[in-house]
Structure 1
Amino acid sequence: MRFTRRGRMATGCRYNRVCSMADHDLSEAIGKPGSISIPKKLPLFLTADLVIFPGLIVPIAVTDEDTVQMINDTMQSGPRIIGSFMRRQAGGDEIAVHKIGTALMILRMLRMPDGSIRMIIQGLDRIELLEVEQEKPYPIGRVHQLVVKTRKSVRLEALMRALRDDFDQMAELAPAIPDEFKVAVHNLDHPGGLADLITANLNLEPQTRQQVLETLKIPDRLRLVRQLI
């Protein structure tokens, strides 16, 4: 499995597409599912091929006029949280998306002279799309926050250790892996976050990333990511 250089530590990730939260000031809050309460209704940010995991920071460019309006409204009227869901098929007017997505907080936004937006978002928790209540001018949906609580156990610790060992073997063959990312993998003690962090930095097809996002049981997610390395 090839490693992609998209993974960087949050302190220096501003211009990278996917960045880890492991050493970020908010990592404690984001590393614990359910630490932030997600509104039951959210504007929906629909993507063609981008799967965003909880605990990651992602720079995004927005050019679609309706989505620009959605971001502007969100920044002015609420907690700056939107729901990201990947479409089942690219294009088309019908809202057909995967039901499991991620709640995102808009950290920064920059309006460009051409009317587009550059923003830096932060993944919070997995969410389930229950219903689309509005489609125009931009979609708004009713969502459910998915908080998977897992008790530490000998079996879970063994799975985390095995995943780290697999990662270390891959890292020996991939000198492009940044040292700070290696440190993050070994310092992160949240099992679900560990699986998400490694997945986000592997060169995988969007549907495979979505499969990991939809794997809610932590032991199953750890096993799946081991298979993907």
Structure 2
Amino acid sequence: MTSAGGIQIPSRLPLLLTHEGVLLPGSTVRFSVGSPRNMQLVSQRLLKGTSLKSTIIGVIPNTRDPEHDTDDLPTLHKIGTAGIAVQVVGSNWPKPHYTLLITGLCRFSVSSLLKERPFVLAEVQVLCCLTRLLAVFLYFRFITATYWAGVFISVTSVPEIRELRKV
């Protein structure tokens, strides 16, 4: 397990194969899930999980449309993003499918595939944890904003300047 800004990234991640876009650390993306592999991932991992660890999955761009999922696994990209599923919405109309809202945590490299069915499970190695850098960036941004807000408040609290602003 590797830490990503306080969240432990497991060394084995189930992989969500998607052709809809790329998830990056710090971004939140909505994915439609309708292929058999991805449906199994949601039903067996996300809906039955009881811990934070069970909501962390790997998202990898798929080279073909997962709706036309066959028994053979497509060629996978070696780099993906570990993400946390913050929302799972299911529907049976017009056909059974899920919609996932996933927030990216950090990038990973696929070391090996452990299983392909009922969903893809891979051994992964975390490449870099941008969440820690992002947290530092946001902290300094907050400090800077607080500083400038303090300067603005102190400048507008001087009686002479307050009088000038009325003119």
Normalized against structure 1, the TM-score is what?
Answer: 0.47
Aligned partner of 2:58 in structure 1 is 83
Identity %: 27
Aligned partner of 1:115 in structure 2 is 96
- How much has 1:49 moved relative to structure 2? 5.1
Q: Do the aligned residues in 1 keep the contact of 2:20 with 2:31 (CA within 8 Å)? A: no
1:137 counterpart SS class = coil
CA–CA separation in structure 2 for the residues paired with 1:86 and 1:39: 20
Aligned partner of 1:47 in structure 2 is 18
| Deviating 4+ runs (over 4 angstroms) | none
CA–CA separation in structure 2 for the residues paired with 1:147 and 1:66: 28
Aligned partner of 1:71 in structure 2 is 42
Q: How does 1:180-191 map to 2 (within 5 A)?
A: 189=137
CA–CA separation in structure 2 for the residues paired with 1:148 and 1:69: 28
Q: Do the aligned residues in 2 keep the contact of 1:44 with 1:139 (CA within 8 Å)? A: yes
CA–CA separation in structure 2 for the residues paired with 1:103 and 1:66: 18
Cα-to-partner distance string for 1:81-137 (whole Å, 9 max, x where unaligned): 1111123x3256334112111001100111102321112111110011100010011
- The structure whose residues are more often strand, as a share, is 2
Aligned partner of 1:96 in structure 2 is 75
Aligned partner of 1:142 in structure 2 is 123
Q: Call closer, same or farther: CA 1:105–1:145 in 2, change over 3 Å.
A: same
Any unmatched runs of 5+ in structure 1?
1-32, 153-187, 191-229
Cα-to-partner distance string for 1:142-184 (whole Å, 9 max, x where unaligned): 01112268xx9xxxxxxxxxxxxxxxxxxxxxxxxxxxxxxxx
Q: Call closer, same or farther: CA 1:74–1:50 in 2, change over 3 Å.
A: same
Q: Call closer, same or farther: CA 1:137–1:148 in 2, change over 3 Å.
A: closer
The amino acid of 2:58's aligned partner reads G
The amino acid of 1:84's aligned partner reads V
Cα-to-partner distance string for 1:52-75 (whole Å, 9 max, x where unaligned): 100011111111132112112222
1:98 counterpart SS class = coil
Q: Do the aligned residues in 2 keep the contact of 1:74 with 1:81 (CA within 8 Å)? A: no
Normalized against structure 2, the TM-score is what?
Answer: 0.63
Which one has the largest radius of gyration? 2
Count of aligned residue pairs for this structure pair = 120
Q: Call closer, same or farther: CA 1:119–1:94 in 2, change over 3 Å.
A: closer
Q: 1:130 aligns with which of 95, 108, 111?
A: 111
CA–CA separation in structure 2 for the residues paired with 1:95 and 1:142: 17
Q: CA RMSD in A?
A: 2.4
Q: Do the aligned residues in 1 keep the contact of 2:56 with 2:83 (CA within 8 Å)? A: yes
